[in-house]
Structure 1
Amino acid sequence: MARIGIIGSEGRMGHALARAIEGAGHEVAGGVDKGGDVARLADKSDALVDFSAPAALEANLHAAIGAGIPILIGTTGLEERHFRAIDDAARCVPILQTGNTSLGVNLLSHLVREAASKLGDDWDIEIVEMHHRMKVDAPSGTAKLLGEAAAEGRGIDLADNSESGRDGHTGARARGAIGFAALRGGTVAGEHSVIFAGEEERITLAHSAENRMIFARGAITAAAWLIGKPGGRYAMADVLGL
């Protein structure tokens, strides 16, 4: 049984994580939110799970390092400076940062990478995602994860080959580009489709989240898996053995 601390405990995801921890037979070590003492939480935890906000990331990393425990980061909307901070902290403690903790989505990412590696750039790749009306960032972390998987499969850099926010007279689609479209509305937990559009045929790989508990269960599976691992950056693919 592991003691798992929740950063962002009062949000919807925080409550789902608490249920997932108990459902997996582990113990909720406690929880903190904005202004809370994350270092104290880390001292009584075997692992931390962070679904809070980008502004809190550095303090959360420092708390994990101070306690010498792993941290799973599911916070979205991270910027380059956040990823640099994660890389620095991973020299000391095991860290898993992901845009999506669903085991199904991460298997989808693996399939997208494989498909992109087999199909040439005459197959256009479009990633379409939909989330609830309250989501504040776009494209979603999961869409970016899938885009990175497609880019890796093709051996290209996503930043140099992505298209999004099309509006007006945009001109023809660039060959080899990876496109993104974000839809928002209702209470959708998360839907993602990766479309490979070729000449007179299409392949669609998709995942639908029916409840945020799938993310919570995946996060707790991964956090427990991290316990006892050496310092370093890990991915959900490692948890799945892919």
Structure 2
Amino acid sequence: MTEPTRVAIPGATGRMGEELLAEAAGRDDVEVVLATTRSPEAGPIAGVELAGADGLPALLTERDVDVLVDFTVPEPCIEAVEAAADADVDVVVGTTGFDSTETAALREASERTALLKAANFARGVQALLQVVGEAASAMEGYDAELIETHHNGKRDAPSGTAKAILHELEGAREAGDRDGGDRDGATDGDRVHGREGHAPRRDGEVGVHAVRAGDITGIHEVLLAGNHEELRLTHRAEDRGVFAAGALDAAVWLDGQPPGWYDFGDVLGGD
């Protein structure tokens, strides 16, 4: 029998930290050997004792960690990733909201260890990313809107998943222009974040709307409309457990891969 992947989870008392620990407890292919927190009074979660976040660099080696799975916030995530790279530990990053400098730091770390970064670990979102470009290409010239909805505690807007969807959508439109399409006014990739006052729609713009309310896990909807018809592509996550399961699938797949930059599509056999 294959030995389970030995996993470290920073931010164990956060929303996703707790989900990861709960998901791991029911699996045979992963073993959580390290979970850290910045809340010193926190007790065990899903049977796992918690360690202080400051001890992470040394504990990665002491606990013989294979893969670190991080769903925290950018600054501590970068610190954890750099510690993992120094310890020859692979990394799964589900944290979003990085600026260009932080993204460059992740890229540098991927030259030293295997690093898989994804905005979303739901298989349905990966399917959505694959079809949204096809739909935009087939419906050239149609108006495009993206509406994403999350819980009231989410920090970044638009969400990382929304940005990934926009990348696919705008890429398809740019390819259409190169193939001979032409638009007046706004160019492909022009994003309008909400609308207020006198705001007539410009040709080629993409409307982006971020909704934050209650404890909604995550909804992403792409609307393409024109020629007296509309197409809506929607993904709705009912529970954060779907993200935890995907992230641990990614950890098992990543374990032992050569240094480099990976995404969740690699895990699912995408290009």
Quickly name the TM-score band, shorter chain normalised.
Answer: over 0.9
- Following TM superposition, by how much is the alpha carbon of 1:59 offset from its aligned partner in structure 2, in angstroms? 1.2
Q: Distance in 2 between matches of 1:6 and 1:79?
A: 23
Structure 1 segments unaligned to the other structure (5+ residues): none
Separation (CA, whole Å) in 1 of partners of 2:157 and 2:262: 24
1:57 deviates by: 2.7
Deviations 1:85-137 (A, max 9, x none): 111111111111121111111111111122223331x1121110111122222
Match in the other structure for 2:102:
82
Measured in 1, the distance between the counterparts of 2:188 and 2:78 equals 24
Q: Is 1:27 aligned to residue 25 of structure 2?
A: no
Following superposition of structure 1 onto structure 2, how do residues 151-190 of structure 1 map, counting pairs within 5 Å?
151-155=170-174, 160-170=189-199, 172-190=200-218
Alignment of structure 1 residues 1-242 onto 2, 5 Å: 1-25=4-28, 26-34=30-38, 35-43=53-61, 44-120=64-140, 122-155=141-174, 160-170=189-199, 172-242=200-270
> Aligned partner of 2:12: which letter?
S
Q: Distance in 2 between matches of 1:177 and 1:82?
A: 28
Seen in structure 2, the aligned counterparts of structure 1 residues 227 and 136 have a Cα distance that, compared at 3 Å, is same
User: Measured at CA, do residues 130 and 88 of structure 1 come closer, stay the same or move farther in structure 2, by a change above 3 Å?
Assistant: same
Q: Which stretch of the first structure deviates more once superposed, 179-188 or 108-117?
A: 108-117
Distance 2:107 2:97 in 1: 17
Question: Which residue pairs with 2:184 in the alignment?
Answer: none
TM-score when normalising by structure 2:
0.83
The verdict on how the C-alpha distance between 1:212 and 1:159 changes in structure 2, with shifts beyond 3 A counting, is: farther
Cα pair 1:2 1:27 within 8 Å, conserved: yes
Deviation of residue 159 (structure 1)? Answer: 9.3
Give the aligned CA root-mean-square deviation in angstroms. 1.8
Shift of the 118–146 alpha-carbon distance from structure 1 to 2, 3 Å rule, reads: same
SS of corresponding position for 1:218: helix
Listed as ranges, the gaps of 5+ residues in structure 2 are 39-52, 176-186
Query: Residue 82 of structure 2: SS of its match in structure 1?
Result: helix
TM-score, normalised via structure 1 length:
0.92
Q: Distance in 2 between matches of 1:175 and 1:129?
A: 22
Deviation track 1:178-227 (CA, whole Å, cap 9, x = no partner) reads: 22101111211111111111221111111111110001001100111111
Following TM superposition, where does structure 1 have runs of at least 4 consecutive aligned residues deviating by more than 3 angstroms?
A: none
Aligned sequence identity (%): 37
Residues 17-49 of structure 1: CA deviation (Å, up to 9, x unaligned) = 012222231111111134432213422211000
Tell me the distance in 1 between the aligned counterparts of 2:209 and 2:159.
10
Does the 8 A contact of 1:4 with 1:48 survive in 2?
A: yes
The letter of the residue matching 1:37 is: G
